Amino acid sequence: MANVRWEIDSSHSSLHFSVRHLVIAKVRGSFERWSGTIQAPDGDFSKGTVAVTIDASSIATGVADRDGHLKSPDFFDVAQYPELRFVGKRVQRSGSEIEVVGDLTIKGTTREVVLRVEQHGQTKDPWGNLRAAFTVKTSIDRKDFGLTWNQVLETGGVMVGDRVDIEADIEAVKQVEAQVA
């Protein structure tokens, strides 16, 4: 059986998040530096595994002061926890979608999450490399990962919502195949 390895092409991929702000609006951001691999036995993504590492200090919301606060011990504490990680444990089908179940580690806390994956197909680029594309979505409760900072509003509610929606658009490049015993 051939184990096909794919490298995530971060220059053609994106990792975004959104969270409620002041109950009524959303703040959106991204991580600018991250990498990952997908291992697909016999090239079958539905049997694959994935591992992603995210540089926590690369968080970007478009507001320098907010980014600084998110990097502080109130949130990601990037000095002590420089990386976020996702390691897939298994793949399962849910209707037409594939779900990747794995461990997400943020700020030293690991929780199981389910990523909903939509496959967009494969194509060869002008240099002969085979590429595959996916959209990945999940939602997490930030408090489950120790991201508990908040401020109660005078009118009720809180400044930062608990639910964080995460979406990644991934383009991966097929690497040299290795034989698995």
* Contact in structure between 142 and 156 (CB atoms under 8 Å): no
Q: Grade residue 141 by pLDDT with cuts at 50, 70 and 90.
A: confident
Q: For 160-177, how does the pLDDT look when each residue is reduced to its tens digit (9 = 90+)? A: 777 789 999 999 999 865
The string of DSSP letters for 135-181 reads EEEEEEEGGGGT-----B-TTSSBSEEEEEEEEEEEEEEE---EE--
Q: What is the mean pLDDT of the segment spanning 60-84?
A: 92
> Residue 164 is which amino acid?
V
* DSSP H/E element including 65: helix 64-71
Q: Does 2-179 carry CATH code 2.40.128.110?
A: yes
Which residue type occupies 33?
R
- Whole-prediction pTM: 0.85
Report the share of the chain in percent with pLDDT over 90: 44
CB half-sphere exposure, 153, CA atoms < 13 A: 11
Q: How many CA atoms lie within 13 A of 152 on its CB side?
A: 2
More confident residue, 137 or 177: 137
Q: How confident is the model at residue 152 (pLDDT cuts 50, 70, 90)?
A: low
Give the list of residues 6+ apart from residue 117 with CB closer than 8 angstroms, or none: 97, 98, 99, 100, 134, 135, 136
The mean per-residue pLDDT over the stretch 89-107 comes to 87
CA triplet 68, 27, 78: central angle to 5 degrees?
Answer: 30
For the chain, give every domain's residue range. 2-179
Select from 82, 83, 75, 78 the least CA-distant residue to 148. 75
Arithmetic mean of pLDDT over the chain = 85
